[in-house]
A and B are shown apart, each in its own frame.
Chain A
Amino acid sequence: MKMKNGFVVGLVGLGLLASAGAVAAQRGKMIQIKGSDTLVNLVQILAEEYMGKKPGTALAVLGGGSGTGIVGIINQTCDLANHSREWKQSEIDQALAKGITPRFFVIAVDGVSIVVNEKNPLSQLSMGEVGAMYRGEVKSWKAVGGSDKAVSLYGRQSNSGTYGFFQEHVLGNKNYSTDVKEMNGNAQIIEGILQDEGGIGYVGVGYLFDASGKVRKGLKVLNISKDPGGQAFSPLDKAAVDRGDYPVARALYQATAGKPSPAVADFIRFEMSDEGQKIVEKEGFFPISAAHKAANDKNLR
């Protein structure tokens, strides 16, 4: 009886050791990817596809905002950073001061969508009007041709790349209004707007869709024109985004600290491939152009 017990215990112990060893071996190769909340879902799906095709690889994808990812590269706490805005000069300087020359790869193109509640009578706004609302200069929907309701602003927090991109391109690098409700992520903005008839928010185009691939019920995506009264385009119109007619489009990036390691480079190549770009499109983003592909190849070498 005692010998049998000892045998079982020994077997269990060996099993635990073996799995621990496997985990440790995987850990050694685990690629840490951190950053943009806009990119986190997309990169998680890309990572899962990649791990399915190449057994033995391990990738961990976390969110936290573009700022978090960029700090991760500077402080060497991650291998790959997702970011939806460009690095600030101060961030590049910080990296260079630590001996790191960051390299950037464009893996998708995003149309930042301006969304309102479906009960809102408006269907389009100009860049200037959206900027004025978010700077706090316009406080009532009546001023832009809507109903007599107060404008209820939803946005992201300062660690978000979308926040930074929006501030630069739509607000003209001016301060946000202090009345913007700073939500924790794209999903929370959408949930807020679904319940708020006077609400307006900005989200990555990939977050507009429900499980069946249609725009979330209760949400309305506004068409945006560059100038007031000009022709307005929808972020769902792929051709308009490609042509550059949709004014609030932006590239979505990944960054590495210098030349990427072979494991990371292989993953980036997968993301750029036809298969990877098909996943990008499926998630509601737009594929990268040939120019982006050429620039990425240069940075991979």
Chain B
Amino acid sequence: MTKRKRERLKEAAIRAFFFTCGVLAIIVLLGIFATLITTSFPAFKEIKLSEFLLSKNWDPTSPEQAEYGILSMIMSSFIVTLGALIIAVPVGVGVAAYLSDVAHWRVREIVKPVVEVLAGIPSVVVGFLGIVLFAPLISKIFNVGHGLTALNGSILLAIMALPTIISISEDSLTAVPPAYGEASLALGASRWQTLFRVKLPAALSGIIAACMLGMGRAIGETMTVLMATGNARTFPQLPQALLRSVRTMTANIAIELGEVPYHTTHYYALFAIGLVLFIITFFVNLVADVVLHKYQEREL
């Protein structure tokens, strides 16, 4: 084989390898989706879709009448995630703005790695903190009997979503062309006005994407909410629900999948909950992507 031919073959092989790796990600995703669909489909032979999505009662092992409604759990996941975002978005974007604009480079060198460490804390440890530290605090501050509530879950999920939001928002803010900032200052704006009215809007697409990713992280979190929100099956009625026990979809699957007898309606129904979770997270990420691209195109 000539040297040239060997070179071309090597190039083709390397290209094929990288292509396979890329395609593998798509294959895994489609595989998960396919498994979820095929294993949850049999559930809907016994359960009406309207009952599944709209009924507030989940009690598959009931001695009276087995019920498979997941509305309470969808609402619980939603409330806990919303609470987490209300805490994490202002704090996260604030920290990102501080790191990119205001902080002395030495402070930045310390805070950035600390945020990365926060991202690495295992969810069980955060859940443990929730039981031992935050629950008694909530119980004392709000004068309720116990602190295993949606509020507890929101605080913990905010802690877990913060590193994602901070990291990506900070990257977006530093990616804003310095020319924007310099032009704004040259025209007489203060540093605060520059940050708030020029830099943040310019980085908005990245910040929104960061928040959506943080939201995806919060919705999918299992161990933390399992340990710290009390797992009560009641339908959460806002605003009291913040100080009551809730049960998210993720916690429910974790609780019940370990012992459910294989290939019963209960088993398929749990996979159906997984499918709902998958679809929700998929949409959240899709919207984040679309927003990111739309704003990027507009900038050009």
Which A residues form the contact surface with B (CB < 8 A)?
A: 64-65, 67-68, 71, 74-75, 90-91, 94, 149-150, 152, 157-159, 164, 167-168, 173-176, 178-184, 188, 191-192, 195-199
By the criterion CB–CB under 8 Å, are A182 and B247 in contact? yes
Which B residues form the contact surface with A (CB < 8 A)?
A: 57, 59-64, 72, 131, 135-136, 139, 145-148, 226-227, 230-235, 245, 247, 255-256, 258-262
By the criterion CB–CB under 8 Å, are A181 and B256 in contact? no
A65 and B261 alpha carbons, distance in the complex (Å): 13
By the criterion CB–CB under 8 Å, are A174 and B259 in contact? no
When C-beta atoms are compared, the residue in chain B nearest to A66 turns out to be B259
Question: Which of A65, A150, A157 contacts B231 (CB under 8 A)?
Answer: A157
A-B pair number, CB within 8 angstroms = 88
B230 CB to nearest A CB, Å: 4
By the criterion CB–CB under 8 Å, are A195 and B139 in contact? yes
Contacts of A197 in B (CB 8 A): 145
Question: Which of B57, B148, B231, B259 contacts A64 (CB under 8 A)?
Answer: B259
Contacts of A179 in B (CB 8 A): 232, 234, 245
Question: Which of A65, A150, A184 contacts B226 (CB under 8 A)?
Answer: A184
Question: Which of A68, A75, A183, A196 contacts B258 (CB under 8 A)?
Answer: A68
Q: Pull 18 A–B residue pairs with CB atoms less than 8 Å apart, ordered by A.
A: A150-B145, A158-B255, A158-B256, A159-B258, A159-B259, A164-B61, A167-B63, A176-B59, A178-B72, A179-B234, A180-B232, A181-B146, A181-B232, A182-B232, A183-B231, A195-B136, A196-B145, A196-B146
What 12 new A-B contacts, CB under 8 Å, besides A74-B261, A178-B57, A195-B136?
A64-B259, A75-B262, A157-B256, A159-B256, A159-B260, A175-B59, A175-B62, A180-B232, A180-B233, A184-B226, A192-B146, A195-B139
Contacts of B59 in A (CB 8 A): 175-176
By the criterion CB–CB under 8 Å, are B227 and A94 in contact? no
A181 and B255 alpha carbons, distance in the complex (Å): 13
Q: A65-B259, A94-B261, A197-B145 are known contacts. Are A178 and B226 too (CB-CB below 8 A)?
A: no
Q: A184-B226, A196-B146, A199-B145 are known contacts. Are A157 and B261 too (CB-CB below 8 A)?
A: no
Contacts of A184 in B (CB 8 A): 226-227
Contacts of A178 in B (CB 8 A): 57, 72, 232-235
Contacts of B233 in A (CB 8 A): 178, 180, 182
A174 and B227 alpha carbons, distance in the complex (Å): 27
When C-beta atoms are compared, the residue in chain A nearest to B147 turns out to be A195
A71 and B145 alpha carbons, distance in the complex (Å): 37
When C-beta atoms are compared, the residue in chain A nearest to B139 turns out to be A195
B135 CB to nearest A CB, Å: 8
By the criterion CB–CB under 8 Å, are B145 and A152 in contact? yes
A148 CB to nearest B CB, Å: 13
A88 CB to nearest B CB, Å: 9
A64 and B256 alpha carbons, distance in the complex (Å): 10
A198 and B146 alpha carbons, distance in the complex (Å): 9
B65 CB to nearest A CB, Å: 8
When C-beta atoms are compared, the residue in chain B nearest to A117 turns out to be B145
Question: Which of A68, A150, A174 contacts B64 (CB under 8 A)?
Answer: A174
Contacts of A198 in B (CB 8 A): 145
Contacts of B135 in A (CB 8 A): 195
Contacts of B261 in A (CB 8 A): 71, 74, 90-91, 94
A188 and B147 alpha carbons, distance in the complex (Å): 13
B160 CB to nearest A CB, Å: 19
Which of A67, A157, A179, A196 has most B Cβ within 10 Å? A157
Contacts of B230 in A (CB 8 A): 181-183
Contacts of A183 in B (CB 8 A): 230-231
By the criterion CB–CB under 8 Å, are A181 and B231 in contact? yes
B252 CB to nearest A CB, Å: 10
A251 and B51 alpha carbons, distance in the complex (Å): 38
Contacts of A181 in B (CB 8 A): 146, 148, 230-232, 245
Contacts of A173 in B (CB 8 A): 63-64
Q: A71-B259, A158-B61, A182-B247 are known contacts. Are A199 and B131 too (CB-CB below 8 A)?
A: no
B116 CB to nearest A CB, Å: 30
Contacts of A191 in B (CB 8 A): 131
Contacts of B62 in A (CB 8 A): 175
When C-beta atoms are compared, the residue in chain B nearest to A75 turns out to be B262
By the criterion CB–CB under 8 Å, are A159 and B255 in contact? yes
